[in-house]
Amino acid sequence: MRAWSGYASGLQALSLLLATACFGVGRGIAPAQAQNASLELQDIMHRIELGMLAVSPCSNADIYFSEAIKPHRLGAVDMCSWMLEHGSNPTLLNISATVYSAPTENYIYQMRPQLPECPLAPSPAPGPDTARQPRSMAAGIVSSSPAVAIRSSMAMISPAPLNGNYDHDFALQMIAHHWASMNMARVEVKYGTHQPLKALATQLIVMQTLQVEQMRSVLSRDYSTFV
């Protein structure tokens, strides 16, 4: 399994190198510059996942959601900053500006209400096969445990291959980012008891569902990428 994983990662890296070379030539951008920018975006996604996974599993959905969403939100700001620097698509730039300009600190601290100490839950870390499976926005996570459900929502997998185009790759990665946060928000709506937090999770689902549809439209119209 590890050998195949390393082989697949090598193919993905080679594919990205070739794609960014073609993309860079088409826009007058050095291939190395395009590749480095795309790798930077992937690195942000990886850091978001690590930040969420560092949160101790908690059997209280309100506490776990409010803690896990913090690195997720901060990572979204980093992704949108990347897009505002490198991107050109008006729809994607508008989404990025909306997310980036949101009052980050207020947003986070609204999601961290005064709650009791977290009752720790057994770590539900999924196995390597299930942890890296793409999941659709509509599918959500089905589990009888909020700790398992939130933990299982954290993996952010691009729903289609990256190609080195800044707008294309940002849309794919941000869709994966939004799917993860919406799935976590659905767990909060289902299991949470703190009403302001549940309301905030509901607003997040509504807002990000609209943004995902806008990004999917850009991908299908401009790049024939259907997700």
CATH of the domain at 99: 1.20.1260.10
Q: What pLDDT is attached to residue 59?
A: 85
Beta strand spans in 130-215 (E): none
Q: What is the reported pTM?
A: 0.75
Residue span of the structural domain in which 197 resides? 2-223
Crossing angle of the two packed helices 166-191 and 195-223, in degrees rounded to 10: 150
Tokens of 122: 């057994």
- In sequence order, the 6+-apart residues with CB closer than 8 A to the CB of 122 are 57, 147
Q: What pLDDT is attached to residue 101?
A: 86
Q: What pLDDT is attached to residue 93?
A: 97
pLDDT tens digit sequence for 195-207:
888 998 999 999 9
pLDDT at 151 > cutoff 90: no
Nearest to 170 by CA among 100, 103, 84: 84
Share of the chain above pLDDT 70, in %: 67
The number of domains in the chain is: 1
Rounded to whole angstroms, the Cα distance separating 1 from 53 reads 23
pLDDT at 217 > cutoff 50: yes
